[in-house]
Amino acid sequence: MSKNVLILSGSPRKGGNSDLLCDEFMRGVLEAGNTVEKIRVSEKKIGYCTACYYCQTSGGVCAKKDDMAEVLQKMIDADVIVLSSRVYFYSIDAQLKTLIDRTVARWTEVKD
């Protein structure tokens, strides 16, 4: 059965190393008959989680009004999520970490 794949590309370098790997992964996903969307995280407006916990009393709605609600809905709808990060000082990059932190509003709805 065809899968709905979401690729979250962390690097701001369009056509850079990790972004190219995302494109190659996307090619394989399509060749195998699945659907895929790639989001370049740096092109989205995603602010930091401030641990205000508004989301805990609002049914998963975040107090910050930016692009994260749309991205998080896509994460919840996806069968497969690909997270692509550069290695930055032995860790994941800030773009992807910021996005992961913001999933706190609805992370329990993300499959598997």
Ligand X SMILES: Cc1cc2nc3c(=O)[nH]c(=O)nc-3n(C[C@H](O)[C@H](O)[C@H](O)COP(=O)(O)O)c2cc1C
Residues near ligand X (CB under 6 A) are: 11, 13, 16-19, 86-90
Sheet holding 35-40: strands in order across?
35-40, 4-9, 80-84
Q: Which residue, 18 or 98, is less far from ligand X as judged by CB?
A: 18
Q: Which residue, 13 or 74, is less far from ligand X as judged by CB?
A: 13
- To ligand X, the closest distance from the beta carbon of 112 in angstroms equals 26
Q: What is the CA radius of gyration of the chain?
A: 14
Q: Output the residue with the shortest Cβ distance to ligand X.
A: 16
> Pick from 106, 104, 99: which is nearest to 60 by CA?
106
